Amino acid sequence: GAAHACAIMGGGVACWGDDTAGQLGDDDPGTGSPAFKPDPVRVLDATGTMPLADVTAIACGGNDTCAVSGGNLFCWGDGTNGVLGDGTTAAHRRPVAVVSTSGGGSLSDIASVSVSGSHACAVTTAGRPLCWGDNRHGELGNGTSGGTSSVPLAVAPPS
């Protein structure tokens, strides 16, 4: 990320560094400003009661983080431009499920994820690439430019 890092540790995730936008995923804003945590903290699941588990991939970008857990995709942090993929532009201090391309239900069967400062992409286990977030420069790969998408969109086949 811009000023944070995360690692898969023991099947879960630990993150450290800048937490001003909730990108560490521990649901604790900490004390003081800015909120920096130099020691790794466990990322909690969507309920905030248990550590995120069964993590097979993670990516940090800007002020956001995403992880594949049990084949489903979860993101947390700033949320600007819809980069968390939950259908909103809201910030979340703990993981939220990325919605399916139809906007309902959770995105599943995810093999890998990549996050930039303003958009994110994932690849399904079937090899299908999906992207969401800022599309100012055509980052979503769907043949358009401009605007944003807070839900995953299919990347167009190459020409």
Q: What is the pLDDT of residue 32?
A: 58
Per-residue pLDDT band at 81 (split at 50, 70, 90) = very high
Instruction: Report the alpha-carbon distance of residue 99 to residue 35 in Å, rounded.
Output: 29
Instruction: Report the alpha-carbon distance of residue 110 to residue 94 in Å, rounded.
Output: 19
Whether residue 34 is predicted with pLDDT greater than 70 in this model: the reply is no
Name 74's Cβ contacts closer than 8 Å, sequence gap at least 6: 46, 52, 66, 67, 95, 96, 97, 98
Digit-coded pLDDT (tens) for 92-127: 999 999 999 887 889 999 999 999 989 999 999 999
Average pLDDT, the chain: 93
